[in-house]
Chains A and B, each alone.
Chain A
Amino acid sequence: MVNTSATHKPFSLSRFIVRVLTYLTLAAIAFVILIPFAWTISTALKTPRQALMYPPEWIPNPVVWENFISAWTAKPFDVFYRNSLLVAGLSIVGQMLSCSLVAYAFARLRFPGRDVLFLIVLSTMMIPFQVLIIPRFVLFKNLGWLNTLLPLIIPRFFGGAFNTFLLRQFFMTIPLELDDAAKIDGCNHWDIFWRIILPLSKPALGAVMVFEFLDNWDDFLGPLIYISSEKNYTVALGLNAFRNDYFMEWNLFMAAAAVAMAVPLVIFFIAQKYFIQGIALTGAGGLKQ
């Protein structure tokens, strides 16, 4: 072992107790956080009989892996997942394109009314979607877009306050000298945006990607209002319908819920650094909603 006696303070009982208590509390909170996850998986692997036992048991016996297949086929979950991935994928493209363009203008260009307009961008964050649902519903009804995925996708191509703000904050940190050098090389603003700012903004774009994915994956009210037939359901709608159409198949419900939760969890584990980046940039704890 490395000799640390130079920095080592003499043993103190009170400091030792504080450390033990700290770790115990940390572990206790982690335990409470993890119990519902364990309960999901435990139930998902039980027979229907064992799922409905009182008092409940933790260890599935026998372990029924087929529950995942039964849940997946009880409703066309393949269709729901395809729809959700399609919506999330296209929304990400739409937000990355539109918000980065808008953010570039607010970060780099001078035009009359810029600061007022940016203030309006920010203030739209204070108007909850719920206030606007009725006219939006009527709008999409008149466009003939009800019961399609379009109302969930198209608006994402027209900017959005949260992601615009996030990207603008990041663009502001890129030194202006780069722009000047590019201008001397004969670049116009589109070139600067496309070839200098965007390639340097991968961390912020990554944050937009993960936030936008989760925002779509987690949305329920939007799909609920716009979509009526099962072939256009997203995963969130599918889960809800699954529970409504069946009765007490909690082992299957938990299997379906476990898969729906696994997708964003995997993304979170992979893309942690983008989360932290996005949180640092916006000061919000992630997720718009």
Chain B
Amino acid sequence: MQWQLNRNQPSGARTLAIPIRLGALFRMGTRQSEALTGYLFISPWIVGFLVFTLGPFAATVVLSFMEWNLIQAPEFVGLENYIQLLNDPLFWQSLKVTTVYAMGRVPLGIIVGIAAAMLLNQPIKFVGLWRVIYYMPVVLPPVAVSLLWMWIFNPDYGILNGILWTVFGFRGVAWLQDEFWVLPSLMMMAIWAMLGRNMIIYLSGLQSIARELYEAAEIDGAGAWSKFITITIPMLTPIIFFNLVMGLMDSFKLFTQAFVMTGGGPRYASLFYVYYLYQHAFQRFHMGYASAMAWVFFLIIMAFTLLIFRSSRAWVYYEGTLKGK
């Protein structure tokens, strides 16, 4: 077997055996040398965390109190950036756009995901095939998907208006160029792109629900709908909860679609938060202002997550935990 090792074989890892020998050198106990090995093994992460996460994170906070265009020396301006932010109508617009989008996309994604998972959780043929088809859009690069959907939404030559006209006799709207329709269009596209991902998550949740629960309910005379409401949904709440947090995060991180497809337009109707941040940071080089935006972005995500976590105690059911005071 693989793990029965030949001790005569030369060790290919002499350098990394050092902590163990160091341990012997300094007369450490096995406990201490194990700890030393542990720290050595996680050292790549520690360095990465300090340099690429914690450092930049702290720098964002510091920079948010500065004015800096990358050329001149940064200048301390106190709360100036934050005051400007509160008085910036486009900042509020970007918050509004992002929130409206999230409020449409996240619940829709959950509903469609559960529906698709329930369909696939039945005794049907070709489960693998359906699963693969539904999951295909998930792996595609967002830029290519954005190009494709721009072309689908094209008011004159796109297939969406083409189908609406030839099949239903409707004249379609100008989707991405329409102030009202731009967000619903992007939601539609997002549902297409992420259906498979949600479906897979809920499917694994459905499959872990014990059959006995349904059988017991059937003996009690429960119909399909009441089984769904009293068993399926409560048992899925941990996953719905996870989906809610991640969906919110995804909505707030949205960038590529705004950059490639709409440029934030028409008339700021798709000015997503990160896209607006990007404009300040990398088109106008308002590094301090953009840092304040980044920091506010983080606070919003935290606040929402905390809110969902808090409220989840009331509605998320974890198997094996007792509810009560």
Contacts and interface: CB of A to CB of B under 8 A. Distances in A.
Interface stretch (A2-10, A60-68, A264-272): A264-272
B103 interface: no
Interface string A124-138: 101111111111111
Contacts of B36: 111
A73 B197 CA distance: 34
Contact of A105 (B20, B42, B133): B42
A111 B35 contact: yes
A225 B142 CA distance: 16
A191 B5 contact: yes
Interface centre among B120, B148, B156 (most CB of A within 10 A): B148
A130 B252 CA distance: 10
B318 to A, nearest CB: 13
A280 B203 CA distance: 11
Interface string A26-62: 1001101111110110010000000111111000000
Contacts, number: 300
Interface in B205-255: 239, 242, 246, 249-250, 252-253, 255
Contact of A158 (B48, B158, B252): B48
Contacts of A134: 56, 59-60, 63, 281, 287, 290-291, 294
Given A139-B56, A185-B7, A279 B34 contact: no
Q: Interface on chain B toward A: helix, strand, loop, or mixed SS?
A: helix
B232 to A, nearest CB: 16
A178 B1 CA distance: 11
Interface residues of B, number: 103
A32 B137 CA distance: 11
A257 B151 CA distance: 11
A40 B148 CA distance: 7
A261 B13 contact: no
A106 B38 CA distance: 8
Interface string B192-206: 100111111100100
A158 B136 contact: no
Contacts of A159: 42, 44-45, 48-49
A72 interface: no
Given A134-B287, A185-B4, A218-B142, A98 B44 contact: yes
Interface in A97-125: 97-98, 101-102, 104-106, 109-112, 114, 117, 120-121, 124
Interface string A242-285: 01000000100110010011001101110010010001100111
A214 interface: yes
A182 interface: yes
Contact of A23 (B37, B63, B124, B274): B124
A110 B157 contact: no
Interface centre among B159, B162, B255 (most CB of A within 10 A): B159
B11 A191 contact: yes
Contacts of A153: none
Contact of B136 (A37, A120, A195): A37
Nearest to A251: B151
Nearest to A182: B3
A185 B5 contact: yes
Interface string B245-283: 010011011011001100000000000001001100110
A158 B277 CA distance: 27
A130 B139 contact: no
Contacts of B4: 181, 185
Nearest to B40: A105
B141 A254 contact: no
A101 B48 CA distance: 13
A101 B38 CA distance: 9
Interface of B: 2-5, 7, 11-13, 16-17, 20, 31, 34-39, 41-42, 44-45, 47-49, 51-53, 55-57, 59-60, 63, 70, 116, 119-120, 122, 124, 130, 132-145, 147-149, 151-152, 154, 156-159, 162, 165-166, 192, 195-201, 204, 239, 242, 246, 249-250, 252-253, 255-256, 259-260, 274, 277-278, 281-282, 287, 290-291, 294-295, 297-298, 301-302, 305
28 contacts: A29-B134, A33-B133, A52-B156, A105-B39, A109-B41, A110-B38, A111-B34, A128-B249, A128-B297, A129-B253, A130-B297, A131-B60, A131-B294, A134-B56, A134-B287, A137-B282, A138-B287, A139-B51, A155-B48, A187-B5, A190-B13, A221-B256, A236-B143, A254-B148, A280-B204, A284-B201, A285-B199, A285-B200
Interface of A: 22-23, 25-26, 29-30, 32-37, 39-40, 43, 51-56, 97-98, 101-102, 104-106, 109-112, 114, 117, 120-121, 124, 126-139, 141, 155, 157-160, 164, 178, 181-182, 185-191, 193-196, 199-200, 214, 217-218, 220-221, 224-225, 235-236, 239-240, 243, 250, 253-254, 257, 260-261, 264-265, 267-269, 272, 275, 279-280, 283-287, 289
